A and B are shown apart, each in its own frame.
Chain A
Amino acid sequence: METAIQIILNSIVSGLLLSLVAIGFTYIFRTTRVFHLAHGGIYVTGAFACWWTLTKTNNWFIAIAFAIAVVAILIYLIEKTVYLPLNKKQSNQSISLIASMGLYVVIVNILALIFGNENKTIENSISGSYEIGNIILTKVQMIQTVIGIVATATFLIYLKLSKSNLALQAISDSETISKVFGINTNNERLKVFIAGSILSCIAAILKTLEVGIDPQAGMSITLTAAVVAILVSRMNVLLVIAFSIALTILQNSVEWFLDAQWKDGITFLLLLLVILFRTEGIISYNLRKDRA
């Protein structure tokens, strides 16, 4: 029983971090229709920027601010030079997927060239844990949980205050009609790319606290976030969080009862089944016939 509680507790924390990446991926995918695999590149760029600044300044505030600035500039350049021009040419999703794969390869190899392929850990990282019976919660997990919740809440408040949520839903339904109704679609695209990248950057920094970072670390979490995006199939932050935690519980259970290497296999088997038999995602609702 205690093992089950520990697995669930760990899964909630890891699931929250996954949900930060998945929220960004889902909003970007649903709004821009870009299957943004380069999100994995953005993730590791944020982590490396933070790690590098910490080694130079030993100041967390400067490190986090610098990492966020770096990912924001990087995604701005990517959107302006690659994704937006492809969107103007009305390229289909396969084209943007290929471009995204190319960008991912470039980013990861540049980082490997600069920092090397080995895992980088943050020195003087926070240690210690709290124990309730046999259940353990580390201080790093506490920090991950609190900052994860704050970041998600900030994103939700931003959506509410900026009224972007409605604009994003409109662009998701039809970009052309959104333009007719005066929505600056290019601006909204850029905002969702930057917001999604910042969430991913925060997740990467929190994960680096726990296990460190290497240039290849972004692909696995991005692919899992992509699975969440396909399963949820809607722009709903709370649903993305719920699915991220559920998927992490499944993965951790597989890791516990079978083997760590099976968890990706099981995750993607689930994706395959959903794509084949429920392409509209697990959570779907009946649209009126004239909207279906």
Chain B
Amino acid sequence: MNYILHILVMLEIYIFLALSANQKIGLSGLLSLAQAVFYGVGAYASAIVITKFGFSYWLALPVAISACVITALVFSFIAGKVRELYFSLATLALQIIFFSVCYNWIPVTNGSYGISGISNPEIFGMKINTPLSFALFGGVVVSLVIGFYVWFLKTPISRLIQATRDDQIAVLSLGKNPNYYKRVSIILSAIIAGVAGSIYATYTTYIDPSSFTLDESILILSIVLIGGAGRIIGPITGAVIYILLPEVLKFLQMPDGIAANMRMILFGLLLVLIVRFKPKGIFGKFMIQ
């Protein structure tokens, strides 16, 4: 039972990450290779203030969000300067720099040893420290984010963000600043990924740089592109496929050692096939041309 609940918690975290990446890719058309940076900033900021300053989770969360917003401002500066492939390459560079900093800034991040002993959150005096309570907590927060997107996608600012994606000059002709809408989109994406990071850190109670690598960023991007960018259902579908794929392989009685590689082979193959034959993804609305 605990195993199923653990799968559920990981699914919720990946839905979070996929929705955050969808904000940048699907709504703004910014192909970022550094979504794991925001995930990592959220996780590290929470872990550091909880373990070094004794903050509670609810005090650590605003710190994590603030750190993500500051990081997002760096990304939005880049998005204002370069576009398309060069934006992707700049984010790739930031991803590797972030990993280097996490690995080497030992007084703060504890390097490759990581940070352990991160305390669990509490709500109304109840500690969230079992897989069931985390699954419920994650479920509530994911529902809130999905509810937010159902509302947000109907707002004028969301339409302007999508208009910036489709035609920057048209947005300029309306007297609007495209860079402002890119900035809003990147900040929103960063906040959601940061919250996912803080939940991940308190769930596992231990983090190290290996969870926030380029591979992780590529994985998050793949989840969105396979599920389909631009709609809420797309990233959720991508996350479900990614998390449930190993379970299907186990059902087929594949040994764990083989299943781990087979999962990535199938996922990579699916990504290539999607790009080749169904560029909008399974449920997507927007296609990177």
Contacts and interface: CB of A to CB of B under 8 A. Distances in A.
B85 A35 contact: yes
By secondary structure, the A interface counts as: helix
Contacts, number: 125
A275 B11 CA distance: 36
A8 B264 CA distance: 40
B218 A101 contact: yes
A264 B96 CA distance: 7
Contacts of A95: 275, 279, 288-289
Interface in B222-277: 222, 225, 258, 261-262, 264-265, 267-272, 275-276
A275 B82 CA distance: 8
A261 B222 contact: no
Contact of A265 (B100, B218, B262, B289): B100
Contact of B276 (A99, A226, A259, A269): A99
Interface string B208-228: 000000100010011001000
B288 A98 contact: yes
B206 interface: no
A276 B90 contact: yes
Interface string B70-107: 00000000100110111011101110110111011000
By secondary structure, the B interface counts as: helix
Contact of A105 (B85, B92, B271): B271
Contacts of A267: 96
Contact of B104 (A226, A259, A268): A259
Contact of B85 (A94, A113, A264): A94
Given A82-B272, A85-B276, A91-B289, A97 B88 contact: yes
B100 A262 contact: yes
B261 to A, nearest CB: 4
B31 interface: yes
Contacts of B103: 261
B268 A109 contact: yes
Interface string A80-100: 011001100001111101110
Contacts of B222: 101-102, 105
Interface residues of B, number: 41
A268 B99 CA distance: 11
A276 B265 contact: no
Contacts of A104: 268
Nearest to A219: B214
B170 to A, nearest CB: 19
Contacts of A262: 100, 104
A142 interface: no
Given A99-B276, A113-B261, A279-B86, A94 B288 contact: yes
Which residue of A102, A267, A279 has the most chain B CB atoms within 10 A of its CB atom? A102
A281 to B, nearest CB: 11
A69 interface: no
Nearest to B29: A94
B260 to A, nearest CB: 9
A168 interface: no
A64 interface: no
Contacts of A113: 258, 261-262, 265
B104 A105 contact: no
B88 A275 contact: no
Contacts of A238: none
Contacts of B82: 275-276, 279
A80 to B, nearest CB: 12
A264 B103 CA distance: 11
A112 interface: yes
A103 interface: yes
Nearest to A78: B272
A119 to B, nearest CB: 17
A268 B93 contact: yes
Contacts of B92: 223, 268
A271 interface: yes
Nearest to A81: B276
Interface in A93-146: 93-95, 97-99, 101-106, 108-110, 112-113
Interface string A262-287: 10111111011001100100000000
A102 B275 CA distance: 9
B19 to A, nearest CB: 19
A102 B96 CA distance: 19
17 contacts: A86-B276, A95-B288, A99-B271, A102-B269, A102-B270, A102-B275, A103-B272, A106-B264, A106-B269, A110-B261, A113-B258, A113-B265, A261-B104, A264-B99, A265-B97, A268-B100, A272-B97
